[in-house]
Each structure stands twice: as C-alpha cells, then as structure tokens.
Amino acid sequence: MSLIQILVMVAAGIGMLIGLAKQKGGAEWGRPMAIVCIVIALVAALWNIINTARGKSGDGIVEKELRYQEIGGEKLAGYLAEKFPGSKVLLLAEPTLGTGQPKVNPMVKGFKDAAGGKLTIVAEIRPEIPADKAKAFQAESPMESGMEGSDMAEMMPPLEYWYNAKIFDELLGKQSDFDILVTTIGLPQDARNSKLLKDKAQRPKIAILNGSIYDLKGAFTPDMLVAAITYNPKAEYDDKAVPRNLDEAFNKRFLLVTPENIAQIASQAPDLFRSGR
C-alpha cells in the first residue's frame, strides 16, 4: 500500500470517528461526514486491492487524478468566461494552519490557467479558523489521546465545525470591486443566516468550484448561485489516459450544475440534493 493510500485511509478514519462523535452529540452534519469518510476509506482500500491483484505499482494514477481535478477548474472558468465575459473574480480558498504555506489546489490551478485573459482574478482570500474552535476541536477529538502535541497542532477542524454565516459575512464584507465569488470551500452550512446572501442588492454572483451543493438546490438562480462543479454519481474510473477533449474528460468525473439545468440534474441524480429543497 502506498504512502498516499495510507494517509487517505488514516484521514478518513479520523473523519469518520469525528463524524460519529458529533452525530451522537446532536450535530446534523455528523452522519453525512462519517458516511463520506467511510466511502473514501473503502475506495482507497479497493484501489489497493485492484492494484495488488493486477501487479501494478499505481504509477501515474495520482497524476491522472490530479489532471482530472485541473479539468474541473478549467471547465468552470470556461463557463464563467463565456457566460459573464470580463468579470472580476474573487477566489475563496481553503484555510491554512499557522504560518504554513497553502497547498496547491489542482482545481484552483486549472481555474486560474483557463481564466487567464478572460476573467480577472482580483484576490484570493482564506477564512481564519477561530482559536477557540481549534482548541475545542482538539480537546474533543476522539484521536487526541494517541497523538503528540505537535500532531494535534496540525489538526484542522472540519469546515462544518466552525465555518458559519457570520464568518462568511465578515470575510466578504472586507472585499469590494468583484462580480463573482468563486469558492473552493462551498458555502457555510447555515448560509440561510447570511445577511449578505439575503441582500439581493449587495450579494455577488457565486460559483462553487469545490464544496457541497446538497442543501443548495433552491439557490441556483441567475442572481445568486450561477454555477457549481460537483462529482458525477456515474463517474467512470478506468486505466485509460485522460481524454484530450475537455468536455469528454470533464464528463467522466464531474457535473456542471447551473440555473438552466438544475431541474434536469436533480431529476437524473436526486441524491445530490436534500429531498424537498
């Protein structure tokens, strides 16, 4: 088993334990988080079994999947450039811990590469993890007893644990002169409490490059959520090279959800959205 697979399975295991613990504590997001982590762990294990059975080392698999991630970003940039040419884009990216350098997100890389000359990226911002939330998360983590202090310092609380409408509003309230917010962390779980999103005159158009759309079916409107990239429930995983055609490659992994096709996608893939929303 490769180091990457081991790290993925360990992270998924931690996430599963946290999700189950939070579910018992009454948090609605606990069960979905645990389920997602279980699926990730199973996929990683299956990946190892398949490679072992075939006698393959897995060389090139990571590079191929990273390329698919880039294609997801390229597709969104192309769509926004065509639909809203010349728009000014504000990127909302993943938070970082301490003074560490942010990791390169392949979806963001693909977006930036494809946006060049067609969209103007005015800034890239990241929310800060509240210190009290980070400490409380570390104290409540089921894995705390088996970790060293330095490891605990590197544990990032999941977004669902601290990222809320208040933080979102404060962060966006400091920005100006942009047309579209492109977020790689979705919207806060309590987005309905956002004063900014309720204000039709002030809120920007929003596009989700990465993040959950489970509770956002009703938000897909021409003046709010204008596009989102999400995983295709019928995604194809095979040994073939990544198709050179952008749309062909994109369709093997993702769906582009827009106000124009939301009804069709919700009909074809109802599990993408919460029932009744």
pLDDT of residue 137: 76
pLDDT computed for residue 103 by the predictor: 76
pLDDT at 85: 96
Q: d(Cα 139, Cα 204) in Å, to the nearest integer?
A: 37
Write the CA distances from 39 to 42, 45, 63, 128, integer angstroms. 5, 10, 21, 29
As assigned by CATH, the class of the 65-127+163-272 domain is alpha beta
The position carrying tokens 């194809």 is 236
Report residue 275 CA to chain centroid gap: 21
For the record, the structure tokens of 259 come out as: 């106000």
Give the global pTM.
Answer: 0.76
Sheet holding 120-125, edge to edge: 120-125, 88-92, 180-183, 205-208, 225-231, 254-257
Map residue 124 onto helix, strand or coil. strand
Q: What is the dihedral of CA 53, 54, 60, 64, to 10 degrees?
A: -80
Q: Name residues whose C-beta falls within 8 Å of residue 215's C-beta, 6 or more positions apart in sequence.
A: 189, 191, 273, 274, 277
Hey, where are the domains in the chain?
65-127+163-272
If 0-12 CB within 10 Å is exposed, 13-18 middle and 19+ buried, where does residue 257 land?
Answer: buried
CA angle 132, 98, 123 (to 5 degrees): 105
β-pairing, 88-92 vs 254-257, is unpaired
Q: Give the pLDDT confidence score for residue 45 in this predicted structure.
A: 61
User: What is the reported pLDDT for 90?
Assistant: 98
The CA distance from 169 to 151, in Å, is 31
Q: pLDDT value at position 14?
A: 60
Q: Kindly list the averaged pLDDT for each block of 10 residues, start to end, along the chain of length 277.
A: 54 59 59 63 59 53 93 98 97 79 86 96 93 76 49 67 94 94 95 94 95 94 97 90 96 97 94 79
What is the pLDDT, as a whole number, of residue 274? 86
pLDDT score for 96: 78
